Structure 1
């Protein structure tokens, strides 16, 4: 036998060894399915080849395919709410996995101030809303996503204008002069929830606060991962002087390790007004005018017919669309999430719209084993046209909608050249509503850069440090112009202006966290230092007497300058926070929090405030005596008490300030007078809230039914008010901490998993809340502050509410309607048959201010929300119902439009007005200059049940030629499509005065809320 040479054998052996190694480490494609324990496929499960950037996610049926996997690789399968599983590939090309539910779903992580906690370890009252819930209803403002979805949170759409103002109240109104809006914290950056301070343009028209642009409308709701609402003092105390009104934490989407995912989400649709108001037609109006003036202004009213329907002229079907493209992915070390969004909404009033473009970048990078850096950065550019302000300042009630209600139906909308007509004669002072909508420039342009960078350092095994630096840079420009086709512009040959408002907020936070487990004892200690400052600079210029209307306000040098102004203001807040979370055997939980705030807003004697809280929880379900029962799968009792503050008080009020008194002549020279504006108050401090809360969380039937009940009492003291002082001091009043108010209530929420199998799912989420509010102290010298003489002011801020100890804030005040005086009755001097009669409450035989009383309460008895989510195979259906019971509305315009006292149109009900042949006992006679007082007849029930949203969707199977899709869903959605209410105005969800704490539930005809129908697409690949 011939033997092979040794060198040949060596080479052959090495090649064989290398080939074997290659065979064992060759790249594979692994496919499979990930199921839940009930056999149903889980969509969106993250699958990562450990230690590599290779990854993917399951499709809607739980199937997956992952390529380029080595045979010695380990695949990690993870999904929120389920226990993770790791599988070694080996030589398998198919791996099926079953994921088990994670400890009764109680290990969900909830975001709280300066950290996160397991849901099971939560001691405070916190409501959580996830991205999936926000997507159900297409929204322009993320605050709308809170509406009726979180117990204890009342959201009111003050204005239906695109980008319009929204009010949020968490557990009631807490202030009089300060803000009652919650604090919003976006990825750790605190921002105010108040309306954007629109830059003044000096154009000749003012702002209706209910229609002001909401600064929160610049944030893109599609970027949000979750929203947590902190309600009780134990949860909000970490925000000290900013936590009294509750805190809303917004977390945006971040990248997840695995294959890069590209997602497109878009929708388009149309919105229109929900209802119009019944007004007199031309024939009816002409007859009323003849009767009112005693003249034959219209010889033959019947021939005029319907005339001009001005509401039809200004309202339109407005298109709306949204498009978002997102990129997400990364490795275990570097993660990214980038999104671009464009939103365009045309209002239901002609020439009103809101456009927003935004880009967001979230990056995370694990630089080393113990060091991580990241950033959250969002840039937004938005333009709001037409409807931010609805009332001209010329005193004519010339807002777009009011003009449409007042305008005589006997007038033509346009002249022969197609231009808006100018009313003449008796109607000279009224604006053509088409002109108000098309000949008034009212545009706000906002540029906003919001973001922060952070670094996490693991100093030791149990000790971590985070440093973050952030900024919120807002540049707002308001352009305004009124042409000669509108009365305010015609009298001065055009008036316009431009204003700029630059607000820069800077934040630094240092956070040190120590987490240690010693046997059955678990400690988590957090310390925070933060400093935040803001500088706001505004300038504005306005002019009139323009040579023409060609360039509007783009060349103010052509005009006669009317006013020039500028302003600068600053504030700073330094904070020191400490918190201890203690967990014993996962049964007994304790949270201790303390914060010290130092604010430049406070007086010299009260620069720093201390805000402590304590909360405890008992996991009853973990006790031995609960282990053998099967009814309750979880039960936790929570108790808390804490003190928080409201530092959102006017700037510089603690200081002695100077103000100008205008121009005066001195030696034939124009001079500006300067005088002392106020009494200095070095004791001025924050408004303080002490709140006690007791809550019970429990689940039944293996948590298929989950309930949360909370009862609370919140007492707010040191409310800011002006108190009268002796005139000998040189001043009329002093501003200080005098008042007190109390809120108490109960909240209940439930989640029910009715059905959950492979073909059919049905779950219900519901909540109901009731809050009782009352003023407990004014200033120690008065028990009430009465609003004037009840004469019925009908300006944008109605003098309609009383401050009275023992009564709710915003209580309506006025006379009691007692029918009409009739022919043959004993009628007082100065009154005639057909005039309104008011009750003589004090029995002195005369009607005076002493006969007024509280006639209504705008605060609801309770409010609720119910969401039904159903899925059958590829179809899904969601129905969302919102409701408010109780709560009254002061319908201001009925003072004018059912008063018969002026030469403008009236509600159609005035056809039934009092006449000698029609002795109505409700609708008064018409008469020039007739005085109508504010009374209970103008107060209406604001209760309603609204089918807020119904969405029907279908998920396209990712099979065959569509296997490249991860998810594709088509849907149609109807919003505000049905409202059940007795209210006679445009909509019962109204608050024309915006975020004002006293003028609640006031309807002075703002921008109506619309209903809409849209179709959308969500696709991921």
Structure 2
């Protein structure tokens, strides 16, 4: 009997298992909380690509649904719901509105705020802008993403570090050579997890570690950081774990291939010589027999490129020779493609009282040189640990270590920039000829051109290390009040070693010109060390009294910074096997530098809102800096802001079914700038070398005062007025924001009024300059879901600014060669082009020389010929000149353009369907003028390109696009050849596929994602194809990239 009962029970459970294991058909209806049918709701069987959508009445049907499976209901603007099937055939669902957009929290100074309650100008982006993009650093990923966050890079070498600017011109200062005054684009303060860092640190960070980036743009948002944040703040939050979550391990791999976006198509040696000969004919010169000989010799080599054809004797000489070979340095010295690989592994998780995030990253990027190539290796370690000690004490700990090692060929003063040298005449040798030793790897035809120098083997290696130690205890006094203390130590280490090795040469009896390769073998070592300490102690308060909400933060900040640099250099290395300072016998040089500074400040921010409708904020900071004297080093900088959420008013009640949020806001604030030299207020002495004193019949060395000091130097002050409007509508589908601002910087530190030369000292600096910047920025985003389950979003950011000098005391005569009152940033002065001169624009004098008909242009070009340029006589004085080069008398020059990038924009699109996702990002500039003065463009004795050569004026091609070939006008800025540098670039295109859960679970993995992406794929521009529109210069080229990515979760 017992056996029969057991068999019956087993049969019942087996039948029940089969019943629940089989598939069922499920139908139902989806409505909102008001009972209205929702059209196009996505219903998907969890873990599979199978799904359907609701019809016009909100109904749906799904067949072959596992009886024990789960259905996921998702719809734009509503919370996603996951519902177990449990064998049911009918499932009706009510979706709740998603308040995430209104509840979104934005990181601000020393805290967070709801986005809807912000009264300052703040933009925020998430980790998605950095993930799965083929970029080498954070800066590349941010270009064009945030309106008026201006990211620029002068080159794309593995060690390049893009620079950042917020909202345009910031101050006035001297250029990098310390000779010419210019409008500066200052950098924002960069804060990572509450710790101040520099751009080098940011660009060394592992992008995979970043969770969020907030950009504080106006004074009200930045004021709490005081003197360091005069020109905006970038707040970066790295990833952390979550409490009560299991350990998750994620591995990310990115394999990338880079190629230069633009390489100059340079002329060959024969064509350059042909152009020289033709120019001589067109300008009344003589094509000498030697010029004809060179032309024939170069042609011979190109037809028969044997080493013995690479040299000919100089005219009239039996001892010296000229190199007549040909080569294209770009074809030989630059790789077609170069690899970059990035690997990152992270582990995160947490218990009830502790959560953690730990990551390890490695990146290797090879450079573009085929000879003595450059390469960078970067290593990242990051750890965030948060522990709840007890009910009133939490402790957060952060440790990060970022280091990069960059090895590159070193170029001495005779060679300059590698890419600058590569454009030079491929048939020219600067100090030729030289024969190399029998065991020397350098080919004869490379000797002493740029490729020979690369093979020469001079190297420079740089190691840069940034470390951060931070501990932040938080004491919770009550639910409304807590106190934090952020204690940070950030040391940096820098070491650079430069080696110019010994080379052996055999010099034939027909040359003595070997000076370029007798540059002494040299070793140079340089170390830099800095220590940065920070203490931030502050209290946060947050309390609601009915409809009255009050919050605030008040605290103290102290920072110390110490820096030391030491270098040594020695010549004549004993052996290449041990190139150290101690293994040299020649002249030695040493030097050092040491400095420090400190900041101390107290800060406060108070927020009040009534029913989330009327919003007010006050921020202030009392700052002191060691860079000013005791009487002027402390100053208070306040800011005020307010907002009004019209969407919460009763008279807007009829709009609430489509208008989620409408807010207008305004702010004003002032901030001090302490970015001046250390000890500028202290009278000091400097080493003068030999001075005009003789003692014991020897001239002696000494010191002299550096100049007259103004002890009352004080802060530059930047005041910003901002008005903005924020809109969220249609259940979060539409998000828009607009800001207009004006910023005025006063008391800019600059040279004072000139004093009589008999004073014998430099003019003291004074707080006397003034600059204003006006601009605006727009951000739009639309997100939705189609009836077939496709989700998409489209975004646009657009911004513009103009900066103008209001007061510049260093130019009383109004010279155009420097800044002047009323000057706009980026102004280009030049002549107005009329056209290309033809034969009938001249008469021939009795000596057979051309005489121009019309205004005299001899002050611009002493001699003129058909094929040159005619300029407009704007002041009708019968001659073309620059007058006195002043505002009052500029001659025939005028403002012909502006090089400031205008209307910078980014266009983003994302599409996802089931497990597929596609991202596309366009970036560009709407307006920018540029004058190209590069001789590789205009052509000349040592360089040239086919575009110019094939389209330049000749007697047979009088309707040419360009004037006579030879670079005769490259230094004469004019309107006719001012290029429009506006562009539209496909910055990123990325396709990703996430493997279905059912597949990866079988492999005991949590997720697997594959991606393929491209970066800088193409651009539309009017700039000649010689240049990238972001880099109109001879520098390390910008890159186009393709990449394959893999993400695996365990």
TM-score, normalised by the number of residues in structure 2: 0.79
Aligned 8 A contact 1:283 1:304 in 2: no
Q: Determine the C-alpha separation between the residues in 1 that align with 2:870 and 2:575.
A: 52
Distance 1:440 1:757, change over 3 A: farther
Task: Tell me the residue number matched to 1:892.
Answer: 933
CA deviations on 1:216-272 (whole Å, 9 max, x unpaired) are 322221110000000111101111112221100000001112100000111102110
Q: Determine the C-alpha separation between the residues in 1 that align with 2:265 and 2:299.
A: 18
Task: Tell me the residue number matched to 1:365.
Answer: 387
* In the alignment, structure 1 residue 588 sits paired with structure 2 residue 614: yes
Task: Tell me the residue number matched to 1:142.
Answer: 138
Task: Tell me the residue number matched to 1:250.
Answer: 236
Task: Tell me the residue number matched to 1:466.
Answer: 484
Task: Tell me the residue number matched to 1:833.
Answer: 865
Q: Determine the C-alpha separation between the residues in 2 that align with 1:453 and 1:757.
A: 50
Describe how 1:544-693 pairs up with structure 2 within 5 A.
Answer: 544-547=571-574, 549-552=576-579, 554-555=580-581, 557-629=583-655, 630-663=657-690, 666-667=695-696, 669=698, 671-693=700-722
Q: Of 319, 331, 353, which residue of structure 1 is paired with 2:351? A: 331
Describe how 1:109-258 pairs up with structure 2 within 5 A.
Answer: 109-177=105-173, 180-193=186-199, 214-257=200-243, 258=245
* In the alignment, structure 1 residue 308 sits paired with structure 2 residue 327: yes
Q: Of 1015, 1020, 1024, which residue of structure 2 is paired with 1:980? A: 1020
Deviates more, 1:918-927 or 1:108-117: 918-927
1:569 to partner: Cα distance = 0.6
CA deviations on 1:802-840 (whole Å, 9 max, x unpaired) are 423223223234444555665535246641425555555
Deviates more, 1:873-882 or 1:127-136: 127-136
Q: Determine the C-alpha separation between the residues in 2 that align with 1:116 and 1:141.
A: 26
Aligned 8 A contact 1:981 1:988 in 2: no
Q: Determine the C-alpha separation between the residues in 1 that align with 2:515 and 2:392.
A: 66
Distance 1:517 1:497, change over 3 A: same
Task: Tell me the residue number matched to 1:741.
Answer: 771
1:97 to partner: Cα distance = 11
SS at match of 2:1035: coil
* In the alignment, structure 1 residue 286 sits paired with structure 2 residue 273: yes
Distance 1:690 1:932, change over 3 A: closer
CA deviations on 1:839-871 (whole Å, 9 max, x unpaired) are 554436353463444343111220110111101
Aligned 8 A contact 1:463 1:512 in 2: yes
Distance 1:437 1:367, change over 3 A: farther
Task: Tell me the residue number matched to 2:465.
Answer: 447
Q: Determine the C-alpha separation between the residues in 2 that align with 1:515 and 1:488.
A: 74
Q: Determine the C-alpha separation between the residues in 2 that align with 1:820 and 1:455.
A: 73
Aligned 8 A contact 2:275 2:965 in 1: no
1:674 to partner: Cα distance = 1.1
Distance 1:663 1:234, change over 3 A: same
Distance 1:924 1:215, change over 3 A: farther
Task: Tell me the residue number matched to 2:906.
Answer: 865
Q: Determine the C-alpha separation between the residues in 2 that align with 1:925 and 1:541.
A: 47
Gaps of 5+ in 2: 1-29, 33-40, 48-65, 70-75, 84-90, 174-183, 281-286, 304-325, 505-513, 844-849, 886-890
Q: Determine the C-alpha separation between the residues in 2 that align with 1:981 and 1:237.
A: 40
Distance 1:736 1:491, change over 3 A: farther
Aligned 8 A contact 1:289 1:903 in 2: no
Distance 1:81 1:699, change over 3 A: closer
Describe how 1:378-527 pairs up with structure 2 within 5 A.
Answer: 378-386=400-408, 392-394=412-414, 398-409=416-427, 419-421=441-443, 431-433=449-451, 435-436=453-454, 439-483=457-501, 490-527=517-554
SS at match of 1:239: helix
Distance 1:569 1:635, change over 3 A: same
Q: Of 350, 366, 371, which residue of structure 2 is paired with 1:346? A: 366
Task: Tell me the residue number matched to 2:819.
Answer: 803
**Structure number with bigger Rg:** 2
* In the alignment, structure 1 residue 538 sits paired with structure 2 residue 565: yes
TM-score, normalised by the number of residues in structure 1: 0.81
* In the alignment, structure 1 residue 753 sits paired with structure 2 residue 787: no
Q: Determine the C-alpha separation between the residues in 1 that align with 2:828 and 2:588.
A: 39
SS at match of 1:470: strand
Q: Determine the C-alpha separation between the residues in 1 that align with 2:545 and 2:682.
A: 53
Task: Tell me the residue number matched to 2:316.
Answer: none
| Equivalenced residues, count | 899
Distance 1:984 1:905, change over 3 A: closer
Distance 1:43 1:866, change over 3 A: farther
Describe how 1:689-838 pairs up with structure 2 within 5 A.
Answer: 689-726=718-755, 727-755=757-785, 759-779=789-809, 782=812, 784-787=814-817, 802-817=818-833, 824=843, 825-827=850-852, 830-833=862-865, 838=871
CA deviations on 1:132-178 (whole Å, 9 max, x unpaired) are 22114232221222211111212122211113131222111111226
1:127 to partner: Cα distance = 0.7
SS at match of 1:923: strand
Gaps of 5+ in 1: 1-34, 45-62, 67-79, 88-94, 194-213, 788-801, 992-1002
Task: Tell me the residue number matched to 2:980.
Answer: 941
Q: Determine the C-alpha separation between the residues in 2 that align with 1:331 and 1:599.
A: 43
Q: Determine the C-alpha separation between the residues in 2 that align with 1:930 and 1:234.
A: 49
Q: Determine the C-alpha separation between the residues in 1 that align with 2:423 and 2:944.
A: 7
SS at match of 1:159: coil
SS at match of 1:959: helix
Task: Tell me the residue number matched to 2:26.
Answer: none
Distance 1:488 1:571, change over 3 A: farther
CA deviations on 1:389-424 (whole Å, 9 max, x unpaired) are 8x7433x5x311111100424779998967335779
Aligned 8 A contact 1:151 1:768 in 2: yes
Distance 1:810 1:112, change over 3 A: same
Q: Of 974, 980, 1005, which residue of structure 1 is paired with 2:1034? A: 1005
SS at match of 2:453: helix
SS at match of 2:294: coil
SS at match of 1:238: helix
* In the alignment, structure 1 residue 356 sits paired with structure 2 residue 378: yes
Aligned 8 A contact 1:272 1:1010 in 2: yes
Task: Tell me the residue number matched to 1:1016.
Answer: 1045
SS at match of 1:140: coil
Task: Tell me the residue number matched to 2:35.
Answer: none
Q: Determine the C-alpha separation between the residues in 2 that align with 1:349 and 1:990.
A: 21
Q: Determine the C-alpha separation between the residues in 2 that align with 1:43 and 1:465.
A: 44
Task: Tell me the residue number matched to 2:254.
Answer: 267
Aligned 8 A contact 2:607 2:616 in 1: yes
Q: Determine the C-alpha separation between the residues in 2 that align with 1:488 and 1:885.
A: 49
Distance 1:559 1:819, change over 3 A: farther
Aligned 8 A contact 1:679 1:734 in 2: yes
Q: Determine the C-alpha separation between the residues in 2 that align with 1:149 and 1:318.
A: 27
SS at match of 2:794: strand
Task: Tell me the residue number matched to 2:3.
Answer: none
Q: Determine the C-alpha separation between the residues in 2 that align with 1:891 and 1:191.
A: 36
Q: Determine the C-alpha separation between the residues in 2 that align with 1:495 and 1:488.
A: 15
CA deviations on 1:328-385 (whole Å, 9 max, x unpaired) are 0011201110000001111233412222001111000000011000111110120123
